[in-house]
Amino acid sequence: MDKRIVSARAVPRALLSVLILQLRFIVDKKVLMRGSHVIGEAAARAGCRFYAGYPITPQNELTEYMAESMDRLGDGTFIQAESELAAVNMIIGASMSGARAMTSSSSPGISLKQEGISFLAAQELPAVIVNTMRGGPGLGNIAPSQGDYFQATRGGGHGDYRTIVLAPASGQELADLTRTAFEYADSYRTPVLILGDGMMGQMMEPVVFPDPVDIHKLAPKPWILDGARGKRPSRIIRSLLLNPSTEEERNWKLMRKYEMISREITRAESYMTSDAHMVVVAYGTAARIAKGAVKRVREMGLKVGLLRPVTLWPFPEHNLKELSRYVKDFLVFEMSMGQMVEDVKISIEGRSDVHFYGRPGGIISTPDEVAKIINTIYHRRHLEED
Amino acid sequence: MVKKVFGRPKYLKDAPFHYCPGCGHSIIHRLVAEVLEELDIGDITIGVPPAGCAVLAYDYFDVDMGEAPHGRGAAVATGIKRTLPDRIVFSYQGDGDIAAIGTAETIHAANRGENITVIFVNNGCYGMTGGQMAPTTLLGQASTTTPGGRNAARDAAPIDLSEMLAIAHGSVYIERTAVTSPKTIRGTKRAIAKAFKTQMANRGFSLVEILSPCPVNWKMSPVDAVKWIDSAMTKTFPLKVIKDEVGKL
Amino acid sequence: MKKTIFAGFGGQGVLVMGYVFATAVMNDGKETTYLPAYGAEMRGGTANCTVAVSDEEIFSPVASSPDYVVVMNNPSMIKYESVVKPGGIIFINSSLVSKELSRDDITVFKVPSSAIAKKLKNERISNMIMLGAFVEKTKITSLNSIMDALAENMKGKSANLIKLNRKGLDKGAEYVSQGA
C-alpha cells in the first residue's frame, strides 16, 4: 500500500500527535509565564479537554488561554458560558461523559459555582475548579486576597462533603499542582479546587512544564455515561437518594473516601522548623511573604520557621501536632481576617499559643511588616521566660 | 400462533411508574422510549432528567442517565454532547425547571445551536413541591402560591418559553403538542421522533413542549384535567409547530 | 536580591521592558519574578511592573522600596521617586520628565530616550533605549542576554525591526557610559 495514503481514521490521531509535539515544543525549556497561563498550559498538558468559564477579573487570562489552547489542540472543547452556573454544569456533563474538565473563576463567581461543586461531590465526578481569589465580601475588589478559605475548605456548597483544596505558592507549583489536581480528581472521583489569588494569577515566574499526557492512555473510567451500546446495563449518575438509609450509606461511602484522601495526600512545606521556637503558618502568596519574614528574623538570630500547607483540605494537622511538641508559639498569617487560624487551633489542641496576623481586602503585607510581628511575639515569650 | 402486538418498549425498565393517576409523565416516558427504539438510537443515548416529578426518570428509562441540578439540564446536556458528539443526548425537563430557574441555560443552549433534544413537559405547576405557581400557570389559575388565581399584576403573565426559544438563532425545530387524546398523543410521538431525527442529522437544537395533565395539583379528575388542557390551556399555549427550519427528515 | 519598578504611560512599552528584562535574567540562570500592575491600578493610562532578580528563592514579588526605578513620564516620577531605596538608582526619561528629583540619597541617570528614539526615526524604541541604559549601569544582566530575550519575544517580526531595537539598546548604554 502506498504509504502516502493515510486512512481516514488515522488522520485525527496523526494530527493529534503532531499537535502534542508542537505543544511539547517548550517542554524542556524554562519559560517566563503568567500564573493564569501556567494553569491553562498545565491543564492542557494534563489532558484537560473541556473548559467552560465566564469572564471575571483577575483570572480572565486563564479563560482566554483555554479558548486558545482548546482550539490549538483540536480535540478540546471551549465554551464561554452564559453564567458561572452554566459553566460548572457543563463541566458536570463533560465529566459524566469522561472528559478531563475544568472551570475557573474568582471569588464572586466561585460562590455561584457552589451548586455544581456540591453535585460533583455527590455524583462522585472528577473536575478541577480554579479560584483566583480577590478581595471581598460582595464584589470587593480585584486585588489578591485569601478571604475564601472557609468557603474552599468547609465544602462551600450544601451537604456533607469535602473538596480537595490545593494552594500553590509559585509559578512552578501552579504547573505541578494543576497536573496533580487532575490526577487526584480522577483517582478519587471528586472535585479538586486550586486556590490561588490575584497575585498568583498575574505574576510571571520561570516554569518548566511536565510532559503532556496522552489522553488515550489515561486510565479507563468504567463508570462514565457514553451509551450502553447493548454491551452493558445502562448506567445512572445521580445525587438524589430519597431513602434516608440509602443516603446515609452514600454519606458513609463519601466519608470513607475522604478519610482515605486525608491519609494519602496531605502535604505541607516545612522551612527551618527543626530547631524553631516559633513557627509561622501561612499558605499561597501569604506564605511567600512569611518566608521572607522568617529569613529576615533568622538573620537576626531568632529561631523561627515556617509551615506552609500545600493541601488546605486535607489540612496538615499531623505536621502541626508534631511541631507543637516543641514550638511554643504559632503565628498564623493570612490575607484574610482569621480563617485558617481555626484549623491551626484545632490541630494544636491548646498545646501551644496560637497568634494571628492578617491583612484583608487585597493588601499585600511586606516581609518586614510580618517580621516585626514575629519579633514582638518572640521577644515577649523570651522576656517571660528570662 | 400468538403474536405479541403490544408490550413494554425496549428502553423502559420493568418498573412501575410512581407518577400520580392521570399524570402525563408516564405516557411521555413511553413515547420517548418508543422513539428511541424505533430510531434504533437507545444504545447510544444519554438522558438528563431534571429536578421535579420526573427526577426519577432514571428509574424508568433503560438508557444511560445523568442527573442535572434544577434547571441546568441544557448545560449538563451541552457538556455531554460536546464531549461525545456522536451520541444522542436529550434532557427531560418540567416547566419550572426549564422556564424559571433554568431559563438562561435553555435560551443560551438554543442560541448556541447545541445539537441536543429537549423534552419540555408543561403541566402549569410545580408538581413535586406541591402545586405552587409555575412560570406557565395560566392567568386566573389557582395554585398554592396563587390561592386567588394567578393575577398578572401580582404574579406576571405566563411565559411563552417555546416562542422565546424560537427567536434564538440556533434552534431549528420547536413544536408544542399535548397528551390528551389518541390523536394528540400520536402527534406528540411524531414530534418527539422529529426532534431526535433533527439531532441525528446534526441540525441543531430541537425541543418538544408537551402540555401534560396534573390532576392532583389541579384538583381535577384525570378526565377533567385532560379536558381542561384542550379547552383552557391550549388557548394560552396553542398546539402548533412554532419553528421548523428542518423540513422533512 | 534586586527589585526594579518600570513605570510610564500605557503604550510606552513599560511592560515589555520588564518582561524582556525578566526573561533575560531567567536565561542567565537567575531566579526572577515579574509582577504587572493590573485592573484598577492601570486606569488613567499608567502602566507599571515590578521585576525581582535574585540568586536565591524570591519571596515577595512586590517592591515597597525598590533598588531601581525606571520612570518614563511625569506621573510615574511623582509616584515612584520617593520609594527608591536609599542608595538606589532612578532612571529618568528626561525627554518627558520635567520634574526635578527632590532627594539626594539616590543616584539619578537622565536619558532623553524619547529624543534619541526620534533621531533613530522610531519613537517606539524609547523603552529599549532606557533598558540599554539601565542594563549598562546596573549590570544585572548583559545587553546580549537582553537582545536574545527580545529576539525570542519578537519571533516573526522583521529583521530590521529587531536590528532597530538592538540599536536602541546600544544607544541607551552608550549614552550613560559616556557619563552624560
Taking the CA of residue A188 and the nearest CA in chain C, the distance in Å comes to 33
**Which chain A residues in 165-224 lie under 8 Å from chain B, judged by CB atoms?**
none
Residue A45 lies in a domain: yes
Ordered by start, the domain boundaries in chain B are 25-242
Among the candidates A181, A202, A217, a domain finishes at A217
Extract the C-alpha cell encoding B232: 383552557
Q: Is A366 in the same domain as A299?
A: yes
Q: pLDDT at position C42, please? A: 56
A92 touches B at CB < 8 Å: yes
Burial label for A312, CB within 10 Å (0-12, 13-18, 19+), is buried
Cβ within 8 Å, pair A228-B72: no
Q: pLDDT at position B164, please? A: 98
Confidence of residue A229 (pLDDT cuts 50, 70, 90): confident
Taking the CA of residue C180 and the nearest CA in chain A, the distance in Å comes to 34
Q: pLDDT at position A15, please? A: 55
Assess whether pLDDT exceeds 50 at residue A2.
no
What CATH architecture does domain B25-242 belong to? 3-Layer(aba) Sandwich (3.40)
ω into residue A137 within 30 of 0, thus cis? yes
The rounded mean pLDDT for chain B is: 97
Confidence of residue B111 (pLDDT cuts 50, 70, 90): very high
Rg of chain A, C-alpha, whole Å: 22
Q: Is A93 in the same domain as A167?
A: yes
Cβ neighbors of A312 (< 8 A, separation 6 or more) are A149, A152, A153, A165, A166, A167, A195, A283, A340
User: Which residues in chain A are closer than 8 Å to B51, comparing Cβ atoms?
Assistant: 240
User: C31 pairs with which residues across the strands?
Assistant: C54
State the Cα–Cα distance between residues C115 and A43, nearest whole angstrom.
46
Q: pLDDT at position A11, please? A: 45
pLDDT in tens, A96-134: 999 999 999 999 999 999 999 999 999 999 999 999 999
Among the candidates A190, A217, A244, a domain finishes at A217
For chain A, give the percent of residues with pLDDT over 90. Answer: 88
Q: What are phi and psi of B207, to 5 degrees?
A: -145, 135
Q: Is A153 in the same domain as A79?
A: yes
Q: Is A210 in the same domain as A320?
A: no
Interface test with A, best of B58, B61, B63, B83 (most A CBs within 10 A): B83
Between chain A and chain B, the number of residue pairs with CB atoms below 8 A apart is 136
- The segments of chain C whose pLDDT lies below 50 read 180
The closest CB to that of A367, out of C23, C33, C59, belongs to C59
* Chain C contacts to A (CB-CB under 8 A): 19, 22-23, 26-27, 31-36, 38-40, 57-62, 64
Q: Is A59 in the same domain as A153?
A: yes
Taking the CA of residue B128 and the nearest CA in chain A, the distance in Å comes to 13
CATH of the domain at A354: 3.40.50.920
B160 touches A at CB < 8 Å: no
User: Which residues in chain C are closer than 8 Å to A289, comparing Cβ atoms?
Assistant: 59-60
Third-level CATH fold of C2-177: Pyruvate-ferredoxin Oxidoreductase; domain 3 (3.40.920)
Assess whether pLDDT exceeds 70 at residue A13.
no
Provide the 3-class DSSP secondary structure of residue B98. helix
Count structural domains, chain A: 2
Residue of chain C whose alpha carbon sits nearest to that of A368: C64
Q: Is A205 in the same domain as A307?
A: no
Complex ipTM value = 0.94
Residue found under cell 453564567? A83
Q: pLDDT at position A234, please? A: 97
Confidence of residue A19 (pLDDT cuts 50, 70, 90): low
State the Cα–Cα distance between residues A126 and A191, nearest whole angstrom.
5
- Structural domain boundaries, residue A340: 268-385
User: Which residues in chain A are closer than 8 Å to C22, comparing Cβ atoms?
Assistant: 32, 204
Q: What is the dihedral of CA A140, A144, A150, A154, to 10 degrees?
A: 120
Assess whether pLDDT exceeds 90 at residue B123.
yes
Interface test with B, best of A102, A114, A225, A243 (most B CBs within 10 A): A225
CA A336 from centre of chain: 18
User: Which residues in chain C are closer than 8 Å to A57, comparing Cβ atoms?
Assistant: 38-39
Residue A344 lies in a domain: yes
State the Cα–Cα distance between residues A31 and A289, nearest whole angstrom.
24
Residue A127 lies in a domain: yes
- Where residue C6 falls (left for φ over 0; alpha for ψ -120 to 50; beta otherwise) is beta
Instruction: Give the mean pLDDT of A288-315.
Output: 98
pTM (predicted TM-score): 0.93
For chain B, give the percent of residues with pLDDT over 90. Answer: 97
Residue of chain C whose alpha carbon sits nearest to that of A144: C38
Cβ within 8 Å, pair A142-C39: yes
State the Cα–Cα distance between residues A159 and A120, nearest whole angstrom.
12
Ordered by start, the domain boundaries in chain C are 2-177
Q: Is A200 in the same domain as A315?
A: no
State the Cα–Cα distance between residues B148 and B137, nearest whole angstrom.
13
Cβ neighbors of A11 (< 8 A, separation 6 or more) are none
User: Which residues in chain A are closer than 8 Å to C55, comparing Cβ atoms?
Assistant: none
Which range among A8-17, A151-160, B191-200 has the greatest average pLDDT?
B191-200
pLDDT in tens, A241-268: 999 999 999 999 999 999 999 999 999 9
